[in-house]
A and B are shown apart, each in its own frame.
Chain A
């Protein structure tokens, strides 16, 4: 059972860009420890904007994001201690080996002086091939990079993990492996917020699913509710429905 205390919380969160586009419209959302929350929606629905706001990459127009109870806008450095981030295309230093990348980001995440073996263990946990540990990542496949990305999140050991379309472009096997790791992290009590287009896998892994359209969270279902409803149909119905009036 998820903890009751929300680790990720968006309160009346809105974002209007300088060009006038309303990317996020009064979003309210909570993700508790041991819970996976999947945000579904078409491109431009506001999923990535939500993640960017949680990471303080952009300031909100209204509302507040909380990570572990800390206001992200007010104290971003403190808030970011409690969150890891995995993007669609995991960003790594191509000239560094997998271990060097892991070492660098571990140190940034506050985990200094870890042994080489500790890094190897994490990489083994995400099923990265042993021979890749000391290889430069510029030749890594997308799957390998995603595994290394989740290794970085694991090694930081933050209570919250934000994932921005992490399985996009992965082959089915790699995507499956990736979700298995997420399931393990969920069991460890991490609060996971994942934006994705992958309805089928979202249904498999999510404790709750939210559908976003034109910046609004238009629907939210729990895992239990989805046992009796067809998520694909709901999603397509929302996408086909009339544009929202903003």
Chain B
């Protein structure tokens, strides 16, 4: 019996005018979206390879004198995410590289500058199409699943038979969903074929598993929206009322909640901008450096007298030994002070930011669309997880360079009480050919699932709750 209803529902949709229209939209837009992003990915990959080559050459040409002069900035590049062909996520907003200096790291430009002028209207990628288009089509397909059949009278005809209502509901959801799913599968497969033809490294690493996860997530997302549509339809007496309600639901879940959650979080927990924080740190660093330079200058005069050290310096003289000890103590103290105060600024900033982001994320997860977008971006390596991994890698690389390179060069600035500025250098041996290489430990697929437990709960809720409501409504549905 269930099979009969599923088949009927599927065929009824397939024979309707909207099915070829929807199929056409899917088959045109989904592969096109993938193709455009594949081209963009290939371009970014070429850029990345070229920049890596240039950076390699720059490191090869590096001399310790450059480091002593403080003019060296070593770049660490982030490779473009392979699965950005499905969703751009943070791909175009993340810096392409970071510059590492003695004073810390700073972000380079993002790839957003290369984007088309139409990006101002929102990036169109596979996930965007799914989120905006398939969700709406899923809802509209479901809009008349109950109310429409009531209006046409066929629901009465069905229920005049020995047929349990729960079977009708399940059959209708399954059949209607299949009608939605089949064009999507075809479009998705065409997109994958286009990617493979376009030399996309489909079979590398865990890519097939990730693509399968994308496919299953989209399938789940479509089922969620179809079930929400069924819930609305079973709560409406007329198909037209159902369509109006569905448009409101779509706008709320798709546009209002995700956008509003960020706005609310910004109002509730305002956070300074990154530039403000960097500026504060930079002012603090300058102030500590100046104080340290003055203290060193004062101590220099105390150790060597107003005439200062004689050149060339005698390493074994008692004054020199005393000076080395004093200098090390002052510099160590300055470093500790800087680290402590920088840490406090950064910690406060990160704490405020985390609080704001947590609120925004938790509010946005009310929408299945936001939950889906977050989850799928992490599967594709363009989401929050990737951003975190990137910045972790940057911090680790800065530490490695500090240990292996920057700490080997001792630049001492001294401002003597008479206002004279002195600069002293001392360099330890450094193996410039074997400096640490910048690399990002990509998040595994398992990490993406673990980190997105809230998104997965939201998606599960949006699958179960609308079905439960639709079930309760339909069991009591007045078919007259």
Inter-subunit contact A91/B153 (CB<8 Å): yes
Interface 0/1 of A169-199, CB less than 8 Å to B = 0000000000000000000000000000000
Q: In the complex, which residues of chain A have a beta carbon less than 8 angstroms from the beta carbon of B152? A: 91, 94
A95 CB–B CB distance under 8 Å: yes
Q: In the complex, which residues of chain A have a beta carbon less than 8 angstroms from the beta carbon of B480? A: 52, 57-58
Given contacts A91-B152, A92-B154, contact A105 B161 (CB under 8 A): yes
Interface 0/1 of A77-115, CB less than 8 Å to B = 111110111010111111110001000110111100000
Q: How far is the CA of A136 from the CA of B15 in the complex (A)?
A: 10
Q: In the complex, which residues of chain A have a beta carbon less than 8 angstroms from the beta carbon of B11? A: 95-96, 100
Interface 0/1 of B152-196, CB less than 8 Å to A = 111111111111100000000000000000000000000000000
Inter-subunit contact B161/A108 (CB<8 Å): yes
Inter-subunit contact A91/B163 (CB<8 Å): no
A206 CB–B CB distance under 8 Å: no
Q: In the complex, which residues of chain A have a beta carbon less than 8 angstroms from the beta carbon of B1? A: 107-108
A55 CB–B CB distance under 8 Å: yes
Contact partner of B15 among A89, A90, A92, A95, CB < 8 A? A95
Q: Tally A-B pairs: CB < 8 A.
A: 69
Contact partner of A110 among B156, B157, B158, B162, CB < 8 A? B162
Q: In the complex, which residues of chain A have a beta carbon less than 8 angstroms from the beta carbon of B132? A: none
Given contacts A57-B156, A95-B15, contact A104 B4 (CB under 8 A): yes
Contact partner of A104 among B8, B16, B164, B478, CB < 8 A? B8
Contact partner of A108 among B153, B156, B163, B478, CB < 8 A? B163
Q: How far is the CA of A152 from the CA of B153 in the complex (A)?
A: 15
Inter-subunit contact A105/B162 (CB<8 Å): no
Inter-subunit contact A55/B160 (CB<8 Å): yes
With most chain B CB atoms within 10 A of its CB, the pick from A80, A95, A96, A109 is A95
Q: A68 to nearest B CB, angstroms?
A: 12
Q: In the complex, which residues of chain A have a beta carbon less than 8 angstroms from the beta carbon of B133? A: none
Q: In the complex, which residues of chain A have a beta carbon less than 8 angstroms from the beta carbon of B164? A: 77
Inter-subunit contact B157/A91 (CB<8 Å): yes
Q: How far is the CA of A129 from the CA of B12 in the complex (A)?
A: 24
Inter-subunit contact A80/B161 (CB<8 Å): yes
Inter-subunit contact B157/A85 (CB<8 Å): yes
Interface 0/1 of B1-26, CB less than 8 Å to A = 10010001001100110000000000
Q: How far is the CA of A176 from the CA of B368 in the complex (A)?
A: 57
Residues in B123-151 with C-beta less than 8 Å from chain A? none
**Who on chain A is nearest to B158 by CB?**
A108
B479 CB–A CB distance under 8 Å: yes
* New A-B contacts (9) at CB < 8 Å, excluding given A57-B159, A80-B162, A87-B157: A58-B480, A80-B161, A85-B157, A85-B160, A89-B153, A92-B154, A100-B11, A105-B161, A108-B1
Give 22 A-B contacts (CB < 8 Å), ordered by A residue: A55-B159, A57-B480, A77-B164, A79-B162, A80-B162, A81-B162, A83-B160, A85-B156, A85-B157, A89-B153, A91-B154, A91-B155, A91-B157, A95-B12, A95-B16, A96-B11, A105-B161, A107-B4, A108-B1, A108-B161, A110-B161, A162-B160
